[in-house]
Chains A and B, each alone.
Chain A
């Protein structure tokens, strides 16, 4: 037996292990986003009840709600990418097979890697400005930097997931009939309806 298949198997094993390990981190980040949504539901209910029943509003309600929204706007992005949840048009890709399919997927992922990379840099600068000038909200004067920092954090985790996807696709370009590892579900797979 040649050395190459063993090497390939070892590399696949490493990529698969890395994928599984990283998936745990993504799951936890998504749980944080989910917990913030639940906490926001309770917080907003409290505000609605206090205001309608007691004519009293929670101090800084609007500012706090808005700042906390960054958690669910960014932290689950990598989880969503792993499960193929971001919308796309599958029609052409679904027609491709073998190396063409994986090559197209790799190119599409490369575009995503580049643009998310740029957004990480831009959103980090946005955070840094807020941190340096001590930016606060207008009403409750809450510091805005922790919320702004969530954008580059969430996007960085997304970038790492995209990098894993890219590695997974390159592996499949090399060996189109290998078992797909570290790539989102194929068109038609994993697009189960909510609540299924």
Chain B
């Protein structure tokens, strides 16, 4: 079998293994190891697959992951979510769909201290949905607002998935994190806009809420957002000014959130132990999949498939936008069946070289791909955030939540189109900070 055919067979094999339920990490490692053994012999195969797990896991760049994950878990106990929601409620509840809009912006705030979308959805399903339902909001709108707003954590730094993208495609993690900030804010504004206009057009979706808070009370409510502002300042400022590496901003951010949680006296020994255990669990999951995929990438490298695929794509006699839309469509479909991290890991080694050859900016593409992952988090049949919201609120049927998210998904596709037409929206901040890449 020639190397290229072996590459395609390997790709098909990984697809079959994943479909029959083999965990993504094991499937990738299995195909990688067997492919390497068949192509390069037993010694090289075992040698490469023996070196990769340790060698690729102990890169300093990867140390940012447990720090970002830890911030998210600790933030839950620091009372940040309630502080954010109270502040958003005080300022926004009087506008059409104000509680929903407030939920979106408090999720955006929480996203600044958390890199995990499901955590965000779970927390706000508990805090925001009861308040929205009590105010007479349509339950589809209430649940869908939380499910989609939870996805903002994937884009707004600190974002675990952007770090993973950076590692797989060997791009600057700092640049990617900074690049996620403005698209994250735009996405939040668009979600808020969707809620506002839907309620404005159909006020029965969310009856007006009387807001009797005084200006003084509103200003006092902002106190609840100090932790978030501090962490944003540290992550963005630390990276921007070149004072700290992303890992350092993560560690200092986690320390601050830990102090805040201890001050709130909600951080019991059990909570602390659980937060650390969960961090370790999520960390080892991500590391296992990273080194497994990198074994698979070694095999793909020997097969020459990525270069060949890229050359084929570039040689197609169609405008590059058509190819780009086709790639997005494939991701959109894949995302319906596969978790975001798994989807990125399995496809990027083949797709990324083609994207670069087509002349797209790698940082910009990272943001686009994370936008797609966000969409996949709320689209059926495996839109994880909808399941999470349904898990917290079993009284709201899953179908209702899935139906409620469609207007947001359409708006999200609009945002991707906007970023396509004006890529500077994504690239100008990292370029301004680090110079052109």
Contacts and interface: CB of A to CB of B under 8 A. Distances in A.
A33 B27 CA distance: 24
A125 B338 CA distance: 34
Contact of B54 (A148, A194, A196): A148
B158 interface: no
Given A34-B276, A76-B284, A86-B24, A151 B53 contact: yes
Contacts of A66: 58-60, 63
B279 to A, nearest CB: 6
Given A48-B244, A72-B66, A91-B381, A122 B283 contact: no
Kindly state the interface size class of chain B when it binds its partner: 35 or more
Contacts of B27: 111
A124 B46 CA distance: 11
Contact of B283 (A72, A93, A104, A125): A72
Interface string B374-400: 000000011000011001100000000
Contacts of A155: 53
A12 to B, nearest CB: 24
Contacts of B29: 115-116, 119
Contacts of B283: 33, 37, 72-73, 76
A91 B18 CA distance: 10
Given A45-B255, A79-B281, A194 B24 contact: no
Contact of A80 (B50, B72, B284): B284
Contacts of B341: 87
B251 A41 contact: yes
Interface string A9-46: 00000000000000000000011011101101110110
A69 interface: yes
B76 interface: yes
Contact of B255 (A41, A75, A104, A195): A41
A70 interface: yes
Interface stretch (B93-101, B113-121, B168-176, B351-359): B113-121
B397 to A, nearest CB: 15
B63 to A, nearest CB: 6
Contact of A85 (B59, B285, B291): B285
Contacts of A72: 66, 280, 283-284, 287
Interface residues of A, number: 67
B51 interface: yes
A79 to B, nearest CB: 6
A119 B391 contact: no
Contacts of A138: none
B26 interface: yes
Contacts of A8: none
B243 interface: yes
B153 to A, nearest CB: 11
Interface in A52-92: 52, 62, 65-67, 69-70, 72-77, 79-80, 83, 85-92
A114 B278 CA distance: 27
Contacts of A93: 20-21
Given A44-B247, A48-B252, A119-B49, A80 B22 contact: no
B298 to A, nearest CB: 12
Chain B CB within 10 Å — which of A45, A85, A89 has the most? A89
Contact of B281 (A35, A85, A122, A151): A85
B49 A30 contact: no
A76 to B, nearest CB: 4
Contact of A118 (B46, B339, B342): B46
Given A119-B50, A192-B391, A45 B289 contact: no
Nearest to B271: A195
B254 interface: yes
A116 B59 CA distance: 22
Given A69-B57, A122-B50, A85 B119 contact: no
Interface in B46-71: 46-51, 53-55, 57-60, 62-63, 66-67, 70
B156 to A, nearest CB: 17
24 contacts: A30-B280, A44-B250, A70-B58, A73-B288, A74-B284, A76-B283, A79-B280, A85-B282, A87-B24, A87-B342, A88-B22, A88-B24, A90-B382, A105-B21, A107-B20, A108-B17, A108-B21, A108-B22, A111-B17, A116-B29, A148-B54, A193-B122, A194-B282, A195-B123
Interface of B: 17-27, 29-30, 33, 46-51, 53-55, 57-60, 62-63, 66-67, 70, 72-73, 76, 116, 118-119, 121-123, 243-244, 247-248, 250-252, 254-255, 273, 276-285, 287-289, 291, 337-339, 341-342, 381-382, 387-388, 391-392
Shortest beta-carbon contacts, A-B, top 7: A122-B50, A44-B251, A73-B57, A193-B122, A34-B276, A76-B284, A93-B21
